[in-house]
Amino acid sequence: MADRVGVIDYGGGNLQNVLNVLKFLGHEGSLVSQEGDLDSVDRLLFPGVGSFGDCVEDLDRKQLRAPLEQWLKEDRPYFGICLGYQVLFEKSAESPGAKGLGFLDGEVVRFDDSHSLKIPHMGWNEVNPVDPEYYIWKEAPSPLHLYFVHSFYPQPSDPALISSTAEYGNSFASSIAQGNIFAGQFHPERSQDAGLKLISNFLNA
């Protein structure tokens, strides 16, 4: 039987895009809106559009924080997209005082606009895998271009977590990997065939 795939419903947009991608890839995703919903899924996708503070506030309101922390602690399959990447860390400059899941040490910072960069960073950018043999990157295009929309990005305290980098003014950690936990700042659901390949690799691992 195929793995059951849950999509975290954090109250933001783009959930339907992710569900549509799962269906296109032959998987029926289900929304995870309350603690009990996690009992019926084997893999988790956490998409994200919106602000860090609103996102974690919604997780707390739906009492999803503790079960999510337990899921991560047990190293169960997780793919975080954009905010689903950022909330793995302790805090974000976007929402001072808001508490992330704290699964990974580090913080989410804003792009330095002293480089005369357009913020948010929006559009296609090249993603450079640290280990191209890591299962998420298997058979992905090279060079790999994925779609981004963000003004903030995580800075992991442990560089060994970094699974890929990208350049925008400076090099930043465009994704991390630890065990069965993977998360990236890019939007694979908006990255055409390249993004579909990454999600497919996650679903079929």
Catalytic residue numbers?
82, 187, 189
Structure tokens that stand for 42 in this block = 């084997």
User: What Cα–Cα distance (Å) separates residue 159 from each residue in 27, 128, 163, 185, 196?
Assistant: 33, 15, 9, 16, 27
- In the chain, which ranges are E strands? 5-8, 29-32, 43-46, 78-81, 91-92, 106-110, 121-129, 144-150, 152-156, 162-168, 170-178, 181-184
Counts of helices then strands in the chain (DSSP H, E) = 5, 12
Question: Which phi and psi (to 5°) does residue 148 adopt?
Answer: -125, 145
